[in-house]
Amino acid sequence: MSTPIETPVSRRLASVKNIIIVLSGKGGVGKSSSSVQLALSLLSQSPSTRVGLLDLDITGPSLPRMVGLDIPDATVHQSSAGWVPVYVDAEKRLGVMSIGFLLKDRGDSVVWRGPKKDGMIRQFLSEVRWGELDYLVVDTPPGTSDEHISLLTHLHPLFAPTLLKPTTPTSILITTPQVTSINDTIKSLSFTRKLSLPVMGLVENMSGYVCPCCDEISDIYGGQNKVSELATKENLGYLGKVPIDTNLVKLLDSVSKGEIPAAAQNEDGNSNRGSDDT
Ligand code: ADP
């Protein structure tokens, strides 16, 4: 019998039951918003479900703002057991890690070459003290860049059948119905196949525009059924469609301004956001 492959990454992620990598061929198609919505819906599976959100968009981190943690006291603490993620809720069921929490000034740009990004990604995967997680949702930059290659290289031991506890990561692809987005999705699919990353399916975001006056949905991209057709052709799941909804924009804007949705408040109506360093 061959020896199980163990690395600092595989050891750290042994407490994570499922890893879902969120990909998109293009930027601006709603990948980060979908990662947040996915994390929130997984959280609603049961009161004991615990979810981690890892932002691998090193040069353009947007998760802290999207979960309402773009605030000065949301910082990552170093404990003897590793970096403590920043929690969205009092019960510590949704933890978030992003380079955004490590920047002195949140407006700072991160201008790093591949090797430095790779070092950060390795640290995110091997040093964050997530604890027992049901799901780790990994938000990635658009396209297939250094970050994706680093991620899959460091996760590689988790694909090995010899591991005692195999947590094979999987992925979902977010696309709009626009032809340019679909073409880039096909490139991302080719990337996943080259690197043997399983794909659960496609999510069609911005599938139409919901009129705020009459709720009628208009097909503004003219790509009706194109995403589901691609899913069928590639033998992938079609995981559903989300129209352009001004309510979602308002919700994300209100969260980023610090107005916290009820789900993230404790019984007294206060936010308990922030991290512990126990
Ligand atoms: P990406 O991560 O692909 O770059 P984002 O998730 O940052 O994209 O989304 C880009 C913008 O589009 C954000 O301002 C977000 O609020 C908005 N957005 C995403 N999906 C929707 C949607 N279904 N309806 C309305 N606005 C959306």
| Of the listed ranges 35-39, 120-124, 140-144, 264-268, the one predicted with least confidence | 264-268
Taken in order of first residue, the domains within the chain and their CATH numbers are 8-201 (3.40.50.300)
Which atom of ligand 1 is the closest one to the Cα of 35? 6
Q: How far apart (Å, rounded) are the C-alpha atoms in residues 202 and 39?
A: 16
Whether 37 is in the pocket of ligand 1, judged by its Cβ within 6 Å, is: no
Distance 28 CA to ligand 1 centre (A): 6
Whether 206 is in the pocket of ligand 1, judged by its Cβ within 6 Å, is: yes
C-alpha 53, offset from chain centre: 6
- Say what percent of the chain tops pLDDT 70: 86
Q: Tell whether the model's pLDDT for residue 45 goes beyond 70.
A: yes
Q: Tell whether the model's pLDDT for residue 70 goes beyond 60.
A: yes
Q: How far apart (Å, rounded) are the C-alpha atoms in residues 39 and 34?
A: 8
Q: What does the pLDDT read at residue 115?
A: 86
**Residues near 112 by Cβ (< 8 Å), separated by ≥ 6?**
58, 59, 120
Q: Tell whether the model's pLDDT for residue 225 goes beyond 80.
A: yes
Which atom of ligand 1 is the closest one to the Cα of 27? 4
Q: Tell whether the model's pLDDT for residue 266 goes beyond 60.
A: no
Whether 252 is in the pocket of ligand 1, judged by its Cβ within 6 Å, is: yes
Which atom of ligand 1 is the closest one to the Cα of 139? 2
Whether 4 is in the pocket of ligand 1, judged by its Cβ within 6 Å, is: no
**Residues near 177 by Cβ (< 8 Å), separated by ≥ 6?**
204, 206, 207, 219, 221, 222, 223, 224, 226, 227
Whether 140 is in the pocket of ligand 1, judged by its Cβ within 6 Å, is: no
In this prediction, residue 137 has a pLDDT band, given cuts at 50, 70 and 90, of: very high
Q: Mean pLDDT across the stretch 196-212?
A: 91
Sign of the torsion formed by the C-alpha atoms of 171, 176, 177 and 181 = negative
Highest mean pLDDT among 90-94, 232-236, 245-249, 260-264: 232-236
Residue of 244 and 163 predicted with greater confidence: 244
Q: What does the pLDDT read at residue 231?
A: 96
Q: If DSSP codes are grouped into helix, strand and coil, which group holds residue 208?
A: strand
The ipTM estimated for the assembled molecules is 0.98
Q: What does the pLDDT read at residue 163?
A: 52
Q: Tell whether the model's pLDDT for residue 162 goes beyond 60.
A: no
Among 29, 33, 180, 248, the mutation site with the greatest number of ligand 1 atoms within 8 A of its Cβ is 33
In this prediction, residue 249 has a pLDDT band, given cuts at 50, 70 and 90, of: confident
In this prediction, residue 94 has a pLDDT band, given cuts at 50, 70 and 90, of: very high
Q: Mean pLDDT across the stretch 228-257?
A: 85
Distance 231 CA to ligand 1 centre (A): 22
Whether 43 is in the pocket of ligand 1, judged by its Cβ within 6 Å, is: no
